[in-house]
């Protein structure tokens, strides 16, 4: 079990970073909603995101946004693994 020693620390650091990123995005969304469109207003409204509005139902699936986030995370992890 030698290879599992650092897993707990890695998970804690990763979870903390994700929580900070989420708090930052939440704050950026609130700041941009106060009047002017913020620098993050395009996020979630990319061409390729699926939005279906019906009379009583709205379905939204951020396909293009998910692909963009996946690409960014993959690039960051690739660059970190090269160290």
Please report the pLDDT score of residue 78 as a whole number.
87
- Cα 16 to Cα 9, 22, 31, 66, 71: the distances in Å are 11, 10, 22, 21, 21
pLDDT < 70 regions, the chain: 1-4, 28-43, 83
- How many domains does the chain divide into? 2
Same domain? For 36 and 72 the reply is: no
Please report the pLDDT score of residue 25 as a whole number.
75
Please report the pLDDT score of residue 6 as a whole number.
77
Please report the pLDDT score of residue 30 as a whole number.
66
Please report the pLDDT score of residue 29 as a whole number.
66
Same domain? For 62 and 77 the reply is: yes
Alpha helices in 33-83 (DSSP H): 63-81
What sign does the dihedral 62-27-23-78 (CA atoms) show? positive
Q: Residue 78's domain spans which residues?
A: 42-83
Same domain? For 34 and 54 the reply is: no
Please report the pLDDT score of residue 36 as a whole number.
53
Please report the pLDDT score of residue 39 as a whole number.
62
Same domain? For 17 and 34 the reply is: yes
């Amino acid at each position: 079990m030698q290879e599992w020693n650092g897993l707990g620390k890695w998970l804690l650091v990763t979870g903390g970073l994700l929580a900070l990123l989420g708090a930052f995005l939440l704050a950026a969304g609130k700041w941009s909603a106060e009047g002017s469109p913020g620098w993050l207003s395009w996020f979630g409204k990319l061409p390729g995101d699926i939005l279906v509005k019906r009379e009583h139902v709205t379905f939204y699936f951020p396909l293009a946004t998910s692909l963009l986030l996946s690409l960014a995370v993959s690039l960051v992890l690739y660059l970190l693994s090269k160290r």
